Chain A
Amino acid sequence: MKRYLITLLGIICLICSCEKPETTITEGSPEFSGQMTVLYEGEEFLQNDIKIQVEFDQSKSTVDIMLKKVKFVPAMPVKLDISILKVPVTLQDDGSWKISGDDIIPWAMGGPYDTYRVDDLKGTLTDTTCEFSLGFYNTKKQANYPTSYSGVL
């Protein structure tokens, strides 16, 4: 009997070791804190301690990225909470998640905020880090603000 049990445990361990690596970032809404850089009129506009929350959907095929209290340009008299919703995400072999998206209307102030459009979003999420770059395109001014973010949990 013992031999059967040991064999069974061995098989279970073998099966488990063949599955893709487990990650915790998909649970809840983890919040990262880090640095955001916006390229504005040829100069870098740096913002520290920017909080970003991510939330995976149930199928883990998309992720919502919520940027908190951010500015696009230094002269902006307000900070905004902006969400980039339903960003496609894929799990990598090393356990990280690759995010990518294009032509996304962000969500702000209770609805779609079509003054801006998110282009060329790409980056990586791990259990402890969040890095991405994107272009915030002002549809009215027809100006693009390349933005990058790097934060830790």
Chain B
Amino acid sequence: MLLATIISLMLSAPDNVEGLKDTLTYSVIETSAKQAVPYERMATPVSVAYLDELEARLIDSPKKLSAIVPNLHIPDYGSAMTSSIYLRGFGSRMENPVLGLYIDDVPVLNKNAYDMDMLDIRRADLFRGPQGTLYGRNSMCGVLSLNTLSPSSYEGIRAALQYGSANNVSARASIYRKTKDGLAIGAGVGFRHSDGFYTNSLNGERCDPSDGLSLRMKIQKQLRPDLHFENIFSAGVLTQGGWPYRLYDNETGRLADVAYNDICAYKRLNITEAVKIRKDADHYSLSSISSLQVLLDRMDLDQDFTPRSMFTLAQIQREGALTQEVILKPKAEWKKDWWNWQSGAFLFWKFNRMSAPVHFKQDGINELILGNANANIPEDVSGGMDAPLAILEDNFVIDSEFGINTFGAAVYHESYFTLGRWLFTAGLRLDYEGNIMNYCSDAAINYRFIPTMQAWKLFETIYDGKVGNHYIELLPKISALYDLGNVGGRGKAHFFANIAKGYRSGGFNTQIFSDILQNMMMNGLMADLGVYLDDPGTAVKAEDTAYKPEKAWNYEIGGNIDIREKGHHFSGSASVFFIDCQDQQITLFPPGKSTGRMMANVGKSRSIGAEMSLFYEKAGFSLSGSYGYTDARFTVYNDGNNDYSGNRIPYSPEHTFNVRTGYEFSLNCNVLRSISVNADCSGVGRIWWNEANTLTEPLVVQMGADLIFDFKWFDLNFRADNILNKDYNVFYFKSVGNSFFQRGKPFRWTAGITIDL
């Protein structure tokens, strides 16, 4: 149907279509339903990237905005499911992000869908600092708002084909048309393939191949002069390998090759259907944004990442979500010269049915289960045997099923007061969120205590129940912006200060349930034998798996400037911030040879930092740069064994920078219109890998370059990344007492053709 629509639209293509680039110049066009003032008059730093820049730099996923946006780090590791986002010192490997993602004003509720194909993204705006008042949950450190091409404002046909290292193939095609009756339709489809960059030394095969298909269809129509309708349907399917983790020898510091024996794979299908309706009355505009989101995914993981048959995890999620937001803005008489405002309400409900069976194999049974159990049996009891306890099965499954309901409601208001050159903003949001989880974990084994038992005995463990988590958050914001005027008629400049609060939601540690059941099974089995350990260890219970929201107050001052004179164009912005974070969520590895990991509100932390971005353009020459500095530390953090107060928060980099310079040679030729040469350099680091700050990654600098031949009908482009083939780590973690790193991707090149008709 999509193909038929595309063909029919192509056949009805008008002779003269508006040029794409003409619609994408820097402007203050209102692109978000929540934007009430032009970006340069917002008292918060914003990084903006437009379609032409995104495509020239091959930024096809939010991960590639790392470092380009100051203090943003989205490491590329694991798989597409792993969208760990670090911004201004905060973030986490799992669960809720610190950065909210909105696509055409629709919130993406599941972080597993964050790593998506950025198909025809007209502009990407990243608001740094808490955006809690307007965006609520999970916007504690910022919001990334992506706006896709609108068929109402752009008509044309777009296509691209790219080929590069590791047999990377990327193809996309889209069409945007308006019919005679005012119906505007846009449809696009994109395909990606990669053989992968990492080899599993155990079988000699690439372990991270991927294939992805995405599509989007956008329909817009002015139903009545005062009623605008928009429907956006998007879907994506992805299948890939990944998790190329390398065992790290703590003593020698050597990394082994990637070598795991079980399947590591990720499959995802995500569908979003959104309806946007805007009523433009005489005195107000009322926008309604509704969405239905479906995400089905499956992750298979060799959880020990070694050639040994320890244990595997299959995590299957079937999630459905509904969101509804209404935004009221004044117009005409309701909107005063000195007072503008917006109010809104937001509702959402999400249900996730998750299965997470952990499959224990022979080595895992011997080492993780029997090894631990037998080590605790004294000689008097064991009769002198090394391994008196035995399990009949050479593999068994700890099955875990979850039904997680998450729901929330919010109301908010923001007022903007103009007093001379001052713009004051005050806002408040009331957010309620509830989480209810039903859980059921079970396992069955046949065991025998060899010194005393002649026969195997069946032992079953079941752990089921229900836990809940409810909270209310008040998210205020105040800010002041001073307009310096036109800087002698050459441009504009502003200073601002703001205080705002943000939070990211709480939730449940589903990953730890296999650990809970494993503990229960061993303690239950020992009790079944009539053996009771004096110190059975601290048992995690279901109620311990709930964690609270993480909250942060952000205090910030900054400014921006934009000057244009005699063909020179200079713009820049800078800000310094202090973030006070309470109940910080951080991933902990339970002590011992645990198989799980869990999120916990471990204490308090603070982050001090600065951000700067610059842009200069003169004739064909351009130079842009960004820099972010963060000193993020725990202020109170004692995990019971160690006091990490004062240490750096792991995984978040101290510095990020990106510099890009280029020259566009304009040619007086009707066929080849211009040649652009660009080079860029980006750096991330130092990164502290653990709470103890004993492992670090130094500042890693990577070079990139691109070359674009702009022909009349198409562009030819070439790009290279990590030109110096820098060897560096992007991720560190521990599993079953072992340490692992993932290396970053090596040198890559891409060549392609882009068509805009």
Q: Which residues of A contact B (CB under 8 A)?
A: 69, 72, 76-82, 108-113, 115, 138, 140
The answer to whether A111 and B453 touch (CB under 8 A), given A78-B531, A78-B534, is: yes
Whether A110 lies near B457 (C-beta < 8 A) is yes
Chain B contact residues, majority secondary structure: loop
For A138, list chain B residues within 8 Å (CB).
380
A-B pairs, 3 with minimum CB distance: A81-B530, A111-B452, A110-B453
Q: Please pick, from A69, A109, A112, the residue contacting B381 in the complex, using a CB distance under 8 A.
A: A109
For A115, list chain B residues within 8 Å (CB).
380-381, 383, 451
Q: Please pick, from B376, B384, B449, B454, the residue contacting A77 in the complex, using a CB distance under 8 A.
A: B376
A68's closest neighbor in chain B, by CB? B530
Q: Kindly supply a per-residue 1/0 record for chain B positions 436-472, scoring 1 wherever the CB is within 8 Å of any chain A CB and 0 otherwise.
A: 0000000000001101111001000000000000000
- Alpha-carbon separation in the docked complex, A128 to B22 (Å): 97
B533 at the interface (CB under 8 A from A): yes
Whether A109 lies near B452 (C-beta < 8 A) is yes
B378 at the interface (CB under 8 A from A): yes
B202 at the interface (CB under 8 A from A): no
B334 at the interface (CB under 8 A from A): no
Residue pairs across A and B with Cβ atoms less than 8 A apart, 6 shown, are: A78-B376, A81-B530, A82-B530, A110-B457, A115-B381, A138-B380
Whether B529 lies near A110 (C-beta < 8 A) is yes
Q: Please pick, from A69, A76, A81, the residue contacting B380 in the complex, using a CB distance under 8 A.
A: A76
For B454, list chain A residues within 8 Å (CB).
111
B665 at the interface (CB under 8 A from A): no
For B383, list chain A residues within 8 Å (CB).
115, 140
- Alpha-carbon separation in the docked complex, A38 to B235 (Å): 73
Given A78-B377, A109-B529, A110-B530, 17 more A-B residue pairs with CB atoms under 8 Å apart are A76-B378, A77-B378, A77-B534, A77-B535, A78-B378, A78-B533, A79-B531, A108-B530, A109-B449, A109-B530, A110-B453, A110-B457, A111-B451, A113-B451, A113-B452, A115-B383, A138-B380
B384's closest neighbor in chain A, by CB? A140
Whether A110 lies near B378 (C-beta < 8 A) is no
B533's closest neighbor in chain A, by CB? A78
- Alpha-carbon separation in the docked complex, A79 to B532 (Å): 5
Q: How many whole Å from A81's CB to the nearest CB in chain B?
A: 3
For B535, list chain A residues within 8 Å (CB).
77
- Alpha-carbon separation in the docked complex, A80 to B377 (Å): 11
For B534, list chain A residues within 8 Å (CB).
77-79
Q: How many whole Å from B97's CB to the nearest CB in chain A?
A: 45
Q: Please pick, from B449, B452, B457, B532, the residue contacting A78 in the complex, using a CB distance under 8 A.
A: B532
Q: Kindly supply a per-residue 1/0 record for chain B positions 383-397, scoring 1 wherever the CB is within 8 Å of any chain A CB and 0 otherwise.
A: 110000000000000
Q: How many whole Å from A77's CB to the nearest CB in chain B?
A: 5
A73's closest neighbor in chain B, by CB? B380
- Alpha-carbon separation in the docked complex, A150 to B458 (Å): 36
Q: How many whole Å from B391's CB to the nearest CB in chain A?
A: 14
- Alpha-carbon separation in the docked complex, A20 to B650 (Å): 79
The answer to whether A72 and B530 touch (CB under 8 A), given A109-B452, A110-B453, A111-B454, is: no
Whether B381 lies near A80 (C-beta < 8 A) is yes
B532's closest neighbor in chain A, by CB? A79
- Alpha-carbon separation in the docked complex, A54 to B314 (Å): 48
Whether B378 lies near A108 (C-beta < 8 A) is no
For B384, list chain A residues within 8 Å (CB).
140
Whether B531 lies near A80 (C-beta < 8 A) is yes
For B378, list chain A residues within 8 Å (CB).
76-78
For A72, list chain B residues within 8 Å (CB).
380
A81's closest neighbor in chain B, by CB? B530
Whether B457 lies near A69 (C-beta < 8 A) is no
For A113, list chain B residues within 8 Å (CB).
451-452
Whether B530 lies near A80 (C-beta < 8 A) is yes
B453's closest neighbor in chain A, by CB? A110
- Alpha-carbon separation in the docked complex, A31 to B530 (Å): 17
B residues 378-420 touching A (CB-CB < 8 Å): 378, 380-381, 383-384
For A109, list chain B residues within 8 Å (CB).
381, 449, 451-453, 529-531
Q: Kindly supply a per-residue 1/0 record for chain B positions 365-377, scoring 1 wherever the CB is within 8 Å of any chain A CB and 0 otherwise.
A: 0000000000011
Q: How many whole Å from B490's CB to the nearest CB in chain A?
A: 80
For A76, list chain B residues within 8 Å (CB).
378, 380
For B448, list chain A residues within 8 Å (CB).
110
Q: How many whole Å from A73's CB to the nearest CB in chain B?
A: 8
Q: How many whole Å from B453's CB to the nearest CB in chain A?
A: 4
- Alpha-carbon separation in the docked complex, A140 to B377 (Å): 17
Q: How many whole Å from B449's CB to the nearest CB in chain A?
A: 5
Whether A108 lies near B452 (C-beta < 8 A) is yes
- Alpha-carbon separation in the docked complex, A109 to B530 (Å): 6
User: Which of A69, A108, A109, A115 counts the most B-chain CB atoms under 10 A from its CB?
Assistant: A109
- Alpha-carbon separation in the docked complex, A79 to B523 (Å): 13
- Alpha-carbon separation in the docked complex, A80 to B380 (Å): 11
Whether A110 lies near B452 (C-beta < 8 A) is yes
- Alpha-carbon separation in the docked complex, A140 to B383 (Å): 9
For A81, list chain B residues within 8 Å (CB).
530-531
For B530, list chain A residues within 8 Å (CB).
80-82, 108-110
- Alpha-carbon separation in the docked complex, A116 to B703 (Å): 73
B residues 505-541 touching A (CB-CB < 8 Å): 529-535
For A82, list chain B residues within 8 Å (CB).
530
Q: How many whole Å from B454's CB to the nearest CB in chain A?
A: 6
